[in-house]
């Protein structure tokens, strides 16, 4: 396991506290199995090695994310290792579609903003090709519609800021909420793969991945599994 990942998990095990939030992904949770969490986690990862992601799903879903089309619901959600254990998937797909997914947010070309059309992942890549030192290469997953109180699931990821440092491209990954058991390692893997993808398109080497997580959490019953992961 990546040493930084192990350090974050140890930090979580030492300092987590019981959360007052009674929901997980907009679903009321069992009061006998509360969430435990830790806020404002910052760390840097230098490469993709040792992330212990769920393969092949993590790579397959990454390829689905960068397919170039805003497909919803897609196919790989059914192959997620935790999919069958949740028993509440239908609640997330009203009318057969998710309230959001990464493919829709990466590829939202054609929608109108207040003054300009929405951009997508290709626009970010083209912006970097024009100026690899730009400070404006931010791929937003969180959109203004997520600020309204519409009672649906909203994205965990806020977005990705790409920034050239010397001869390498770095990414700063901002994620407001992350399940340390079911999503953490896969989110990190797919973000670094996104960095590799964008770096290749603009002719740079991938550098560091800087990560901020607003709230890292899991169910109290997951702590046993989390302890086993670092032994």
CB neighbours of residue 126 within 10 Å: 13
Dist CA 38 CA 61 (whole Å): 27
pLDDT computed for residue 179 by the predictor: 96
Mean pLDDT over the full length of the chain = 93
- Strands 35-45, 17-18: pairing is antiparallel
The C-alpha atoms of residue 152 and residue 133 are separated, in whole angstroms, by 37
pLDDT (0 to 100) of residue 149: 86
Q: What is the pLDDT of residue 29?
A: 74
- pLDDT tens for residues 23-49? 776 677 778 889 999 999 999 999 999
- pTM comes to 0.94
Q: What 3-state DSSP class applies to 176?
A: strand
What per-residue confidence (pLDDT) applies to 85? 54
Using alpha carbons only, give the angle 83, 88, 78 rounded to the nearest 5 degrees: 30
What pLDDT score was predicted for residue 87?
A: 52
Residues of the chain with pLDDT under 50: none
Angle at 175 between CA 169 and CA 180, to 5 degrees: 110
- Domain 39-88+98-216 sits in CATH at 3.30.572.10
């Amino acid at each position: 396991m990546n040493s930084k990942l192990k350090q974050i998990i140890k930090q979580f095990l030492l300092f987590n506290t019981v959360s007052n939030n009674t929901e997980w992904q907009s679903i009321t949770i069992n009061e006998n199995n509360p969430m435990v969490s830790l806020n404002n986690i910052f760390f840097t990862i230098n490469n993709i090695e040792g992330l212990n992601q769920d393969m092949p799903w993590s790579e397959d879903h990454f390829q689905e994310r960068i397919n170039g089309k805003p497909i919803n619901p897609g196919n790989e959600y059914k192959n997620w290792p935790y999919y069958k254990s949740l028993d509440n998937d239908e609640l997330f797909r009203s009318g057969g579609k998710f309230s959001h997914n990464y493919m829709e947010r990466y590829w939202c070309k054609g929608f109108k903003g207040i003054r300009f059309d929405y951009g997508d992942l290709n626009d970010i890549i083209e912006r970097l090709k024009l100026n690899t030192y730009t400070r404006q290469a931010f791929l937003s997953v969180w959109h203004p519609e997520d600020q309204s109180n519409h009672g649906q699931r909203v994205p965990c990821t806020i977005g990705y800021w790409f920034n050239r440092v010397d001869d390498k491209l770095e990414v700063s990954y901002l994620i407001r909420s992350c399940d340390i058991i079911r999503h953490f390692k896969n989110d990190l893997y797919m973000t670094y793969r996104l960095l590799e993808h964008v770096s290749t398109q603009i002719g740079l080497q991938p550098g560091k991945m800087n990560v901020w997580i607003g709230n890292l959490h899991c169910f109290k019953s997951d702590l046993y599994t989390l302890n086993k992961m670092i032994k």
